[in-house]
Amino acid sequence: MAERSENGEAVRTLLRAARHGLLSTVGLEPAGFPYGSLVQLAATPEGEPLFLISPLAQHTRNLEADPRASVLVTSSGDGDPMQEPRASLIGTARPLEGEAAGVARDRFLHVHPEAELYLGMGFGFWALRPQEARYVGGFGAAAWVAGEELIGA
């Protein structure tokens, strides 16, 4: 496991506290342009962003064609949002199946019990394996954090 920096811990804290985030995918329509979607978030046991999405959604079709994505998470502070901590986690998304989907279900429904409704509609769990994260702790406080630093207990 990589050594953990203060910025890495800050990103992990933001993700654990996040309930929503901006999922950005490589768009199919119009081709190649970024496509952003608001998604509910939780975290996998390894610390990856976890989301539940519809197979009919544009972002799901985008991920199936090109799994590169990012998830923006922000602090829930009441102050100036430009002064609040935030992080963009950049990596590769994958659908979760089998035992991993079962674990994801339990973790996600603990954070979002209302989401159980979507499970009967064919929604599926996806996780983003972060390659890097861009952490902004406020004005003038920014750093890149390696993905390895974000994964693990």
pLDDT score, position 58: 97
Look up tokens 């990012």; give the residue. Answer: 70
Kindly report, residue by residue over 21-36, the tens digit of the pLDDT.
999 999 999 999 999 9
- Tell me: the pLDDT tens digits for 107-142? 999 999 999 999 989 999 999 999 999 999 987 889
Residue 2 pLDDT > 60, yes or no?
no
Reading the block at residue 15, the tokens are 């993700």
- The answer to whether residue 44 scores a pLDDT higher than 90 is yes
Residue range 144-152: mean pLDDT, rounded:
94
CA pair distance 126, 55, nearest whole angstrom: 11
pLDDT tens figures, 69-100: 999 999 887 778 888 899 999 999 999 999 99
What the block records as the tokens of 77 is 């502070």
Q: What percent of the chain is modeled with pLDDT above 90?
A: 86
**What is the second-level CATH architecture of the domain 6-149?**
Roll (2.30)
